[in-house]
Structure 1
């Protein structure tokens, strides 16, 4: 992207300050995951703590995925206007808000399914349902903000001089955000209208893989409009050339 575009959309603060602050927030979010890990005082506590490392690892990977997506977006679209700053602030707030629910969910999941330990984290089924609803709402919130960020970049696509592949990638990213919101919305809906104990509202997220593959394949099949227009021009000129040859 040209320097003129970058300076034109630099906004209220410099890009490196925005990215630096965002990286600090992501680092703080990882710290919140670690701070709950106490130093073990016995072998039994150590073994129990090792069980929690897997849940920490999964939550850490998910945070790194969000961090990568965040950095990828601002590398492609160095926007620091007021609207983008507001969206970025909202995104960081939601991420910090959902750090503990994220780790708690996976810790409870691994304790029950993998370690087969007695799970005393929930006193009733309704608490499991509430946690699944909170988790789904967090996914919806994060992807909704990402969608608005990509939508803002889409409105400025002409000023960024994006080529066809970049436009297609931007559309694919927005489609991916919609897929995540749709699946998370289905999970919350299952919790709201049924007596699900966290089973189907959790397994519904298995749809993410096939749906993301479909979203990527759908956009990969798109052809540049110039190629289509050239083909139309050729078909239009062919009858004219044939008529000239006959005359």
Structure 2
């Protein structure tokens, strides 16, 4: 009894009963793939051979941190899904495989995008050497942002489908009213992200905004807060039966 009380008080997801038991093989495989993608982001730069190259390499911690943060958010959404629902049927396995492929496919472009953005910041400060070495102009920067928007949108589309599949099994999983509302809330937050990123990509490719359209993604956070207000989560007994 004491252990259960402590677990509930220290749980970072106290309003949702985790149905995922021991870590499954599909989760182990997923963690390996995410680790590979994170390694690709960190180690994609060439090995430094001079002091100046070492200094420049150390400064890449800025774009690496940004790319790392985005990939970690994707991993966290994936982690929470399996902990909350513990679903690993054929549909989830298929969706998870597609997700892992997209994660690996977007790792290098993700790093390249933030390297380019960092190069632009350096250019504004008077050093355009990084962008010149990469051979990127404003038009190409917009296309790169479009690639990022496409990959990001597809990843969150797959994640939203995984959550929607879990919601369709609310009765089988025994989700209570609070957990159903939290699941719907997560799905709509993912969908709003997809719409905002799609707008970002369209503006980047087909308008003179080019890579500057990336600022549109700043709408994701206030939009998520709006979804939180529009889909309130009622207080419910975690042991109550599903009301789906």
Calculate the TM-score normalised by the size of structure 1: 0.80
Question: 1:219 and 2:231 equivalent?
Answer: yes
1:172 match: 185
1:208 match: 220
| Distance in 2 between residues matched to 1:96 and 1:110, nearest whole Å | 22
RMSD of aligned residue pairs (Cα, Å): 2.4
| Distance in 2 between residues matched to 1:144 and 1:100, nearest whole Å | 20
1:84 maps to which of 92, 108, 114: 92
1:128 match: 141
3-state SS in 2 of match to 1:159:
helix
Where does 1:10-159 land on structure 2 (aligned, <5 Å)? 16-114=24-122, 116=125, 117-118=127-128, 119-120=131-132, 121-159=134-172
Unaligned runs of 5+ in 2: 1-15, 237-244
Larger of the two Rg values belongs to structure: 1
2:9 match: none
Calculate the TM-score normalised by the size of structure 2: 0.81
Unaligned runs of 5+ in 1: 8-13, 225-247
Once the two structures are superposed, residues 134-157 of structure 1 have per-residue CA deviations (whole angstroms, 9 ceiling, x without a partner) of: 011011101100111011001100
Question: 1:189 and 2:197 equivalent?
Answer: no
Say whether the 8 Å CA contact 2:142–2:211 is kept in structure 1: yes
| Distance in 1 between residues matched to 2:135 and 2:191, nearest whole Å | 31
How many aligned positions are there? Answer: 216
3-state SS in 2 of match to 1:39:
coil
